[in-house]
Amino acid sequence: MSATVKVTVDGRTIEVPAGTLITDAAREAEVHVPIFCAHSKLPPLGACRICVVEVGMPKLGPGRLPVTGADGAPEIAWLPKVQTGCTTTVADGMHVRTDSAVAVKARKGVMEFLLVNHPLDCPVCDEGGECQLQDLAFAFGADFSRMADAKRTFVSEDLGPIVKKEANRCIVCMRCVRYCDEMMGDDALTAHQRGVLTEISSFNRQPLECEQCGNCIEVCPVGALTALPYRFKARPWDLRQHITVCPYCPAGCSVRLGVRGMEILRARGTEFRGVNQEYLCVRGRFGYEFVSSPDRLSSPLLRLGGSLAPAGFDEAVTYAAARLRDIAAAHGPQAIAFLGGDKLNLEEQYLFQKLARGVLGTSNVDARTRATARLPGDAILRATGAGRPSLTLDQLSRAGEALVLGDDLQGEAPYVQSLLILGQHQNGLHLTVAHPRRVKLARSKFGGEWLALKPGSELTLVNALTAASLEAGVPAGVPAEVGAALASLASALGSPEAGARETGISADDLRRAAKRLCAADQKAIVFGRAYTEHPQAAALVQAIENLGWASGALTAKRASVMFVGPQHDSQGALDMGLTPDRLPGYVDPADAAARRPFEQQWGAALDLSPGLSAPEILEAAAEGRVKALWIVADEWVKSAPDRARIERALERCELVIVNDLFLTATAKRAHVVFAAASFAEKEGVAVNCERRLQRSARAISPRRGARPDGEIFQAVARGLGATWSYRTPEDVFREIARLTPGYQGLSWAQLLPLGPQWTSPAPLAGPRIAPAIAPAAAEAGDGLWMLSGGTLFLQGSLSYRGAQLPKLAGEARARLHPDQAQRLGIGDGDTVEIAGSGGSVTLAATLDDAVPAGSVFVPYAFRECDLNRLGAPAGAGLRVRVRKTAAALVGA
């Protein structure tokens, strides 16, 4: 919006964009106008009236000229009644008074009304001390009550395991109801009755059926909604508050941890900071609980003489360094492989690969441990614009059209899902969701288009969308060589009709979807692990790059393709070269000029050959070619594909080092286990899905015996003779910012309060348009398609160590379409056995018509259910057989 208007608030004249609300203009003018019901993510409502101000316009005389008073100042015609600032937009020349007798009296009156029925609960109310009503009653209210009659009262309710409702304290601002609707898309709350009897509750007064995010609690300006898990635990002034970055998804929400003594008592959003402000999903809000779990490792463990026994840190470091040196000497450095690391902070990721490449001399480094096929290190970079300025999360919610490819964002990145819902409600965003299941975003209430592709036809779908996009010609704004390549791609791809057969989506629907995407001014393509961990990942990501250029989501200047990685710092792992074929900053080790700064800094000649990717490392270890594994922050045994092969690999390896917080299934098989510090116990940077660098603070000191992973890497590097001497993560970050293309010039101080998105002055990789064809592979066979994906309540092996999340998640279930279940003779709740090429799992079945017939859906991340026992996927996915069993054995 270009037009600006001049307004005067309490005598201060400022210029603001036309259409600004008075409350926002006042904030700009640094005048405090209190609000209750207004909220930056919600449309104006005007329910509470606390924001009333006096509004006037210059008096106009004959000829519509302003009338000036005796003192030469224009005379103001004040409106006879006060106006609500949160619903009134400013006009040019408008005057606003918040401190006049009229405004003060009106506000006092509103305050008195709000308190007519309000209980004097402050001492026992969990909001007390951070309650806006309390604050404003002090600031603007009367110091006595004229209320002589009995107050109306309600009975308090537990709305499920998270939300406690005390309706007596409610000021009926409707924030909770609106937030649940506008952001969460859940419509779980409503107002019963009218007027003074208004009561917020669930529709049927049963426990809330929603995402249990607790955002209603967060936005409630009073203590009407409070969090049951935090009930009476502390008062706000007891808590030290530290802002960290949530470790549960790449949205990278800022989480404000409240710490009393050494214990984290709660997590909240940040109100005015971070990409999320007040928002947190259920994982961000309750997932911190593992930090204070009594099961945490309290010292390193060493396997000497058969079993793991506690050891001192120095002892473990010496042992690990000596064994690594021996193995490198005996079998060459390529017999060592480093796995995992996308849950680490950026600095630790950098050190991890520096240790591998610079100290040990191996390039077998890969963070993508769940991948089932090799994916070039720069594939995702190119698909997301190669360092061109990229979409922000805010822009995502303002896009005209968003195409979500393959992932259920409810599980993978709840905040991204919420932003899309917000965009759909408020900014006219149209959603296209390509997913075999009817995931939340594909529900009809969001007015989008669901491309219900057949499982296994992902590549065909993306190619068909590209073909349909190119039918209208090559988009404007692409570099010349891209234009030419797209033109020849168009002829190679054929018509969308071919794709229609295979995907089960009509050619018309494909064309419409492509047209919407191409036509939208602001657009977004979102993809994630469903494609990067797909057996055809390399072709799929290439196909997404093709589609990006073909639809105009990638242009010479901007990139509107977002990669929502599997972990909160997956983007950082790619950037820091936790891939076997790229150094930090996506530098190709074969490029002598580009790699020189690294060689100089590290004082080592680098191995130029690309190393092994995670699936190749697994294979090599199982065959005995890789002898030593270092697995960091990764429950590899349960999450990498093909359990049988993993077991074989771990048996054959001479040395397995694991860094973890708990004695995980992987750690139990290790020779050296380092006890690591949690996200709350260390400082560092994480890079979120919009490539934003975010610094998180250390909230508490590490658990006794545990150390940040960076310290562990440094100790082992020194044990191997390196002369590393980083004292803080900042030291490491300085080195990163000096060496890494894309990060150059960034400073540690600049990362607060909100870090920048990294971009590169010149693209870090040239565009590559190529036909995306999956290598001919063994057919997946017959049987049902095994669908898996993220789930809301659990993410990763840490999430099930707390109390709330596992309780909310319940037990793992196999979800089947009712028709499919009937054909197999399976009823709701029956125990079924799912058998794949490698083995089977047993669990209870649930009928769910969001799952397509011909497939079975089991989310990953459930502790008791290891899907990799089914074997590795082949072709375009994994096929399984499902049958009812008599045995009631779950998850054996």
Partner 1 sequence: MLKELGQGLGVTLGNLFKKPFTVQYPEEKLEMFPRFRGLHILTRHEDGLERCVGCELCAVACPADAIFVKAAENDPQRPNTHGERYAERYEINMLRCIFCGMCEEACPEDAIYLEKNYELSDYDRDAFIYTKDELLVGPEKSGYLPQR
Q: What is the binding site for ligand FES (CB under 6 A)?
A: 35-38, 46-51, 84, 86
Q: What is the per-residue binding string for ligand SF4 in 246-265, x denoting contact by CB under 6 A?
A: x-xx-xxx------------
Letter for the amino acid at 118?
H
Residue 205 site contact among ligand FES, ligand SF4, partner 1, none (CB < 5 to 8 Å, cut-off depends on kind): none
Write out the binding residues for ligand SF4, residues 277-316 only, by CB under 6 A.
280-281, 283-284
Residue 169 site contact among ligand FES, partner 1, ligand SF4, none (CB < 5 to 8 Å, cut-off depends on kind): ligand SF4
**CA–CA dist 577, 337 (Å, integer):** 14
* Closest to ligand FES by CB, 137 or 513: 137
Residue 86 site contact among ligand FES, partner 1, ligand SF4, none (CB < 5 to 8 Å, cut-off depends on kind): ligand FES
Q: How many residues bind ligand SF4 (CB under 6 A)?
A: 39
* Cβ–Cβ < 8 Å for 258, 163: no
Residue 220 site contact among ligand FES, partner 1, ligand SF4, none (CB < 5 to 8 Å, cut-off depends on kind): ligand SF4
Contact flag: residue 624 with partner 1 (CB under 8 A)? no
* Closest to ligand FES by CB, 98 or 299: 98
Residue 233 site contact among ligand FES, partner 1, ligand SF4, none (CB < 5 to 8 Å, cut-off depends on kind): partner 1
Contact flag: residue 563 with ligand SF4 (CB under 6 A)? no
3-class DSSP string for 160-189: CCCEEECHHHCCCCCHHHHHHHHCCCCCCE
Residue 375 CA: distances (Å) to CA of 410, 607, 774: 25, 20, 12
Q: How many residues bind partner 1 (CB under 8 A)?
A: 11
3-class DSSP string for 555-580: CCCCECEEEECCCCCHHHHHHCCCEC
What DSSP letter does each residue of 388-405 carry, written as one string? S-B--HHHHHT-SEEEEE
Residue 237 site contact among ligand SF4, partner 1, ligand FES, none (CB < 5 to 8 Å, cut-off depends on kind): partner 1
Contact flag: residue 235 with partner 1 (CB under 8 A)? yes
Residue 232 site contact among ligand FES, ligand SF4, partner 1, none (CB < 5 to 8 Å, cut-off depends on kind): partner 1
Secondary structure element (H or E) that encloses residue 735, with its range: helix 729-739
**CA–CA dist 654, 667 (Å, integer):** 15
Nearest distance in Å: CB 278, ligand SF4: 11
Nearest distance in Å: CB 251, ligand SF4: 4
* Closest to ligand SF4 by CB, 532 or 567: 567
Nearest distance in Å: CB 317, ligand FES: 58
**CA–CA dist 629, 488 (Å, integer):** 44
Write out the binding residues for partner 1, residues 103-162 only, by CB under 8 A.
122-124, 128
Contact flag: residue 128 with ligand SF4 (CB under 6 A)? yes
Q: Which one of the spans 21-29, 108-116, 233-241, 446-454 is the region binding partner 1 (CB under 8 A)?
A: 233-241
* Cβ–Cβ < 8 Å for 586, 764: yes
Q: Is the peptide bond before 475 cis (omega within 30 degrees of 0)?
A: no
Nearest distance in Å: CB 321, ligand SF4: 36
Could you say which of 233, 595, 625, 734 contacts partner 1 (CB under 8 A)?
233
* Closest to ligand FES by CB, 136 or 251: 136
Which long-range contacts does 732-740 make (Cβ < 8 Å, 24+ apart)?
732/347, 732/350, 732/351, 733/346, 733/347, 733/685, 735/350, 735/601, 736/346, 736/347, 736/350, 736/576, 736/584, 738/597, 738/601, 739/584, 739/585, 739/597, 739/598, 739/601, 740/575, 740/576, 740/584, 740/585
Contact flag: residue 263 with partner 1 (CB under 8 A)? no
Contact flag: residue 415 with ligand SF4 (CB under 6 A)? yes
Give the number of other CB atoms < 10 A from CB of residue 648: 16
Secondary structure element (H or E) that encloses residue 347, with its range: helix 346-354
* Closest to ligand FES by CB, 51 or 396: 51
**CA–CA dist 411, 796 (Å, integer):** 11
**CA–CA dist 772, 462 (Å, integer):** 9
The residue number whose beta carbon is nearest to ligand SF4 equals 284
* Closest to ligand FES by CB, 84 or 696: 84
Could you say which of 5, 131, 404, 637 contacts ligand SF4 (CB under 6 A)?
131
Give the number of other CB atoms < 10 A from CB of residue 574: 28
Residue 248 site contact among ligand FES, partner 1, ligand SF4, none (CB < 5 to 8 Å, cut-off depends on kind): ligand SF4
Nearest distance in Å: CB 383, ligand SF4: 22
The three-state secondary structure class of 678 is coil
Nearest distance in Å: CB 118, partner 1: 16
Could you say which of 30, 99, 158, 238 contacts partner 1 (CB under 8 A)?
238
Q: Which residues of 836-857 are buried (b: 16+ CB within 10 A; e: fewer)?
A: bbbebbbbbbebbebbbeebbb
Find the distance separating the first CA and the last CA of the chain, reported in whole Å. Answer: 60
Residue 37 CA: distances (Å) to CA of 48, 133, 176, 203, 309: 6, 12, 10, 21, 57
Name every residue whose Cβ is closer than 8 Å to that of residue 571 and which is 6 or more positions away in sequence.
Answer: 250, 563, 565, 687, 688, 689, 691
Rg of the chain in Å (alpha carbons): 29
**CA–CA dist 723, 691 (Å, integer):** 31
Q: Which one of the spans 9-17, 228-236, 598-606, 703-711 is the region binding partner 1 (CB under 8 A)?
A: 228-236
The values of phi and psi at residue 781, to 5°, are 85, -165
**CA–CA dist 211, 584 (Å, integer):** 37
Q: What is the per-residue binding string for partner 1 in 172-211, x denoting contact by CB under 8 A?
A: ----------------------------------------
Contact flag: residue 81 with partner 1 (CB under 8 A)? no
Q: What is the per-residue binding string for ligand SF4 in 211-250, x denoting contact by CB under 6 A?
A: --------xx-xxxx--------------------x-xx-
Where on the chain is the footprint of ligand SF4 (CB under 6 A)? 118, 121-123, 125, 127-128, 131, 133-134, 169-176, 200, 219-220, 222-225, 246, 248-249, 251-253, 276, 280-281, 283-284, 413-415
Q: Interface residues with partner 1 (CB under 8 A)?
A: 122-124, 128, 231-235, 237-238
